[in-house]
Structure 1
Amino acid sequence: MLPAPISAERAYEIGRDTYPRIDLSRDTFIMFAHARAETWKGNPDRAADMFLACACVERIPAAVAEFLAAFGERIPQYLGKLARNADLVAEVRQILVTRCVIGDANKAPALMAYSATGSLEGWLRATAVREALSMHREGDRHASDADAALEAQISWVDHEISLFKQIYREPVSHAFATACAALDAEDRALLRLHYVDGVTTAKLATMFGISRATLIRRLAASRALLVERVKAALKVASGVADQDVDSVLRLVRSQIDLRLSVVLKNVDESAAS
């Protein structure tokens, strides 16, 4: 037996209670809910899911962070045996974030199609499996060895940060520049070789006389240190509100901005001049 239907206004209150850090306009949510009235049918069990989906479509940083925190790490569970392929998992995650949350100039985010008939997680699981099967059929993508798994942890070709940049473009640019300048020469050199000069992890391992797995861990540690520097810069002087810093850092930790290469290059060129 279905629960008694509720109003869009009541659904909004449930959503706010579930996600108190997400500042979503009541009017925006009610329009979103009314557009799905025939499929949602006032089901209170879908209120929080619909609230999160609406807030993600509106590109609210805290909502995107909540979305990633709730579902990002579950993707391997959704994919079952296909999750043994670390590269495939990383690609599916990128596609979900890109297509579900960001969209592009010609296409709205896929979350716009969420009808609230079922759970948001169920909708995401079906999307993840469909994308994974599609990619799996295109060819063999074996990446089960330990090095490949480590490499997947520092994959930086992702669009999560692109969404973040659209919202906090100036504060992030300033924070990255400040953070890169504050790194010591060794950490900055390692990041520059990889991100600016495009030196592969295998070649870097040879250059530094260490194993590739160790090099990957070292590169990941340098990135982690950079993230902490970014956090400090955002808090101190970059204009990001205190309540948004944690949401911001979830995105920064997940992927280093592709623009990092430009920032590192500019920092080193300025130091040399």
Structure 2
Amino acid sequence: MLRRAWDNACAAWPGVDLSATVFVRHLSMRISSEEVEGPLERLLEHLVLADLFIACACVNGVAGAIEALEQHYLGKLPHALAYLRLPEQILDDVCQIVRIHLLVGTAESRPRLAEYTGRGALLSWIRVIAVRMALKQGGVGREAPEENVLTLIEALAEPSSNAEIDLIKRRYRKEFRLAVRDAFTSLSDDQRHLLRLHFIDRLSTIEMGPLFRVNQSTISRWIKSARQIVYEGTKSRLQERLRLSSREFESLLADIESQIDVGLSQVLEEGGGT
């Protein structure tokens, strides 16, 4: 089974000659004691083996590995970070700092690429590191123009049987758009990135834990907090802008809350997949 995993990973990188022995050793060192007790086949199914293969090859100095990493991952960083609206010079600096941290390391730590476990896509993992570097560099502005903003009203379910509420939705479409835009853009840069990884890159809270070096419950709490900010912000802004009866307003809010996950996915899809 391990030989087949190595064969499949090799097929993804025909120009990188990494031995099966080195790869399997690298893989085994990234498996927890709890996971060892479970079925190997199920464990392998949850790993991105091709990504783990190229990371292992880079860490072990295999010829051609760093070039492949540059072409397929690091070279895509400027596009992956475009939503941050970084000045060109800061973007270049961030990408270079990420290269150093991944491949060389610092006086305080070994090359970060050695920490990649294969849980979740390598490009997403690198992007998390890059965003953190960008925040440290101070290049991420708070006034990104309508970044990833798509009103939640676009994501509401198909017209329901309640004709009165459907009429309210259509009538106050503009107000919804403004309220959701303001609520979403009030999130911090870290919160936006967290939601982007969860809703766009489809990373589970288990996969996101190692990326942020916290446990699953902490990730879940962060996501819940960000979602609540969007909902509460939308609610307060609508209260300011709409003049509806209490019954109408509460019915409308209940419908929004029931669709909040779908809505966040749609909001983030509008440019969030870069």
- TM-score category, normalised to shorter length: 0.3 to 0.5
**Alignment TM-score, normalising by the size of structure 2:** 0.44
Compare CA radii of gyration and give the structure with the larger one: 2
Greater share of helix residues, 1 or 2?
A: 1
TM-score, normalised to structure 1, is: 0.44
